[in-house]
């Protein structure tokens, strides 16, 4: 990003920093409301009361501005999650705390994290690759926690993480306030994922004679329906893109 043309006057430099912070905040709101593609430099400039050309004194480009805002949002979210899991040592407790914090971030009316993440698809390829790299870095928090879980060998940890994050990151699509608090919903999601893992672990350690048999159903797949293995592969490919 272009270095700001500083001045020996500390007060002026401070004013420039404040102005740039205002630009970042206004642009973040516009990007979160309209998406990357529908937000123009002129709209950002108008919102902060500047000429479009003057905006380039503070930023290098729309692309670099969006990447910076996106990365700052994920850094802030990561900081909150790290603080939430810090008091816990047990892997399951750490996962529950991380789930509760991420869900609260995504359901907050003032949060811009999810809208910015959703704008990845409309960003240019070079920008998208930078955003995906940052997203993968953010998801390392959950990858490390899940790596410590006592999951049975029959559960793929990558798919487990992808499905859990998908539920948490799309909660705003189906959430309606009133019946449950954010913490209660997060606890329900966590409990379901833990129950499934522990049920599978019990099945794996049960004596062979007591395990349920997988009997053939005799059904043939309907035309156009993909095998389950292929569907799982698609989930990994799309989520890790």
Determine the pLDDT at residue 174.
86
Cα–Cα distance for residue pair 7/14, rounded to 1 Å: 10
Residue 18: inside a domain: no
Residue 198: inside a domain: yes
Taking residues 195-221, what's their average pLDDT?
Answer: 67
Residue 219: inside a domain: no
pLDDT digits over 215-226, tens only?
Answer: 444 445 445 544
Closest CA to 196 of 234, 164, 228: 164
Specify the pTM: 0.73
Residue 231: inside a domain: no
Domain of 106, in residue numbers = 66-204
Cα–Cα distance for residue pair 82/95, rounded to 1 Å: 11
Residue 117: inside a domain: yes
Could you tell me which residue, 241 or 181, shows the higher pLDDT?
181
Residue 199: inside a domain: yes
Residue 193: inside a domain: yes
Residue 17: inside a domain: no
pLDDT digits over 113-167, tens only?
Answer: 767 777 777 788 888 888 999 999 999 999 999 999 999 999 999 999 999 999 9
Please tell me whether residue 148 adopts helix, strand or coil conformation. Answer: coil
Mean pLDDT of the chain: 81
Closest CA to 65 of 27, 33, 12: 27
Cα–Cα distance for residue pair 108/117, rounded to 1 Å: 15
CA 185 from chain centre, in angstroms, equals: 17
Question: At 182, which CATH number?
Answer: 1.10.357.10
Count: domains in the chain: 1
pLDDT digits over 65-115, tens only?
Answer: 999 999 998 999 999 999 999 999 999 999 999 999 999 998 887 777 767
pLDDT digits over 18-50, tens only?
Answer: 888 899 989 988 988 888 888 999 999 999 999
């Amino acid at each position: 990003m272009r270095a700001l043309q500083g001045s020996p006057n500390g007060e002026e430099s401070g004013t420039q920093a404040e102005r740039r912070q205002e630009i970042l905040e206004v642009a973040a709101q516009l990007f979160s409301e309209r998406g990357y593609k529908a937000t123009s430099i002129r709209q950002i400039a108008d919102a902060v009361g500047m000429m479009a050309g003057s905006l380039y004194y503070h930023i290098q480009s729309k692309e670099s501005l969006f990447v910076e805002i996106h990365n700052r949002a994920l850094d802030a979210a990561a900081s909150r999650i790290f603080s939430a899991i810090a008091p816990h040592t047990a892997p399951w407790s750490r996962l529950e705390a991380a789930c509760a914090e991420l869900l609260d971030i995504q359901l907050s009316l003032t949060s811009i994290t999810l809208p910015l993440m959703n704008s990845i698809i409309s960003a240019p390829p070079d920008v998208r690759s930078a955003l995906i790299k940052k997203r993968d870095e953010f998801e390392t928090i959950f990858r490390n926690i899940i790596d410590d879980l006592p999951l049975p060998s029959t559960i793929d940890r990558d798919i487990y993480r992808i499905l859990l994050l998908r539920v948490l990151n799309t909660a705003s699509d189906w959430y309606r306030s009133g019946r449950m608090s954010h913490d209660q919903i997060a606890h329900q999601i966590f409990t379901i994922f833990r129950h499934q893992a522990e049920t599978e672990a019990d099945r794996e350690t049960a004596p062979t004679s007591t395990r349920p048999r997988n009997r053939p159903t005799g059904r043939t797949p309907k035309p156009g329906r993909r095998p389950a293995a292929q569907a799982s592969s698609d989930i990994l490919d799309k989520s890790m893109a």
